[in-house]
Chain A
Amino acid sequence: GQQLNQSPQSMFIQEGEDVSMNCTSSSIFNTWLWYKQDPGEGPVLLIALYKAGELTSNGRLTAQFGITRKDSFLNISASIPSDVGIYFCAGQVNYGGSQGNLIFGKGTKLSVKP
């Protein structure tokens, strides 16, 4: 089945640092989504990408939909303590107008450096 490889698995940040994570797949997706999940909560949508090559920003977050439609990255600039959490990429394939399900990456856990 379709799988997403998300990296890194975890990273430690100091406040003010820029952060970068990415997802790759052997399959093509129509849509790439980035979610953040806090402990005990549901995933919260950060950015949605619908077109190959699309670069979209949401505040300090920037994400791109790869030209090949098989990858995406998420950058967080000037990180702050509340950026801590788990970030998931998700790809979606739409079949002839019918909405497909989301395939999730394994997540990138963002923690604060002691």
Chain B
Amino acid sequence: EPEVTQTPSHQVTQMGQEVILRCVPISNHLYFYWYRQILGQKVEFLVSFYNNEISEKSEIFDDQFSVERPDGSNFTLKIRSTKLEDSAMYFCASSRENTEAFFGQGTRLTVV
């Protein structure tokens, strides 16, 4: 069964460093998303991406964040200068048009 895959599963980085989280969405999906979940809290929307551009973003997705689809298969989230409060699980998700979103296993980002 096709699935969303994310790498790495765990990333530890020093405050102020840049990180890139990678995702391979399900191949025939058109909509791509990043969500994050701070430990013990609910899943929060960051950004959605469709037709090679951002279609919606939340207040959390400030200038430190960017997304890219560098080729036909990868979808990346970059955090330019990480802060301690960026520590969270980051989930990539994808969906076809007007259907449910499927989530990857997540990347646990720890900023020290």
Chain A contact residues, CB within 8 Å of chain B: 31, 33, 35, 40-45, 48, 88, 90, 94, 97-107
Interface residues, chain B, CB within 8 Å of chain A? Answer: 4, 31, 33, 35, 41-45, 48, 50, 55-56, 58, 91, 93, 95, 97-106, 108
Contact of B103 among A43, A97, A103 (CB under 8 A): A43
Chain B contacts for A45, CB-based, 8 A? 100-103
What are the residues of chain A within 8 A of B103 when measuring CB–CB? 35, 42-45
CB distance A104 to B97 under 8 Å?
no
Q: In the bound complex, do residue B95 and residue A99 qualify as a contact, i.e. CB atoms below 8 Å apart?
A: yes
Residues of A within 8 A of B104 (CB): 42
Residue from B44, B50, B58, B103 with most neighbouring chain A CB atoms (10 Å):
B103
Report chain B residues within 8 Å CB of A106.
41-42
| Pairs across A and B, CB under 8 Å, 7 listed | A43-B91, A48-B99, A98-B55, A100-B56, A101-B33, A101-B45, A102-B35
A-B pairs under 8 A by CB, number: 61
Question: B91 to chain A: which residues have CB within 8 Å?
Answer: 42-43
Residues of chain A lying within 8 A (CB to CB) of residue B100: 31, 33, 45, 48
Residue of B nearest to A43 (CB): B103
B48 contact set on A, CB distance < 8 A: 99-101
A97-B50 Cα distance, complex, nearest whole Å = 12
Q: Is the CB of B97 within 8 A of A103?
A: no
- Find A101's partner among B4, B42, B56, B99 (CB 8 Å cutoff): B56
The answer for the CA separation of A86 and B73 in the assembled complex, in Å, is 31
- Whether B105 and A43, one on each chain, are in contact in the complex, defined by CB atoms closer than 8 angstroms, is no
Residues of B within 8 A of A33 (CB): 100-101
Using known A-B contacts A33-B100, A42-B105, determine if residue A104 contacts B50 with beta carbons closer than 8 Å: no
Decide if A88 touches B42 in the complex (CB within 8 Å). Answer: yes
Of B43, B105, B106, which contacts A104 at CB under 8 A? B43
Which chain B positions have C-beta within 8 A of A103?
45
Question: For the complex, what is the distance from the CA of A90 to the CA of B103, rounded to whole Å?
Answer: 13
Select one of A42, A43, A90, A99 contacting B50, CB under 8 A: A99
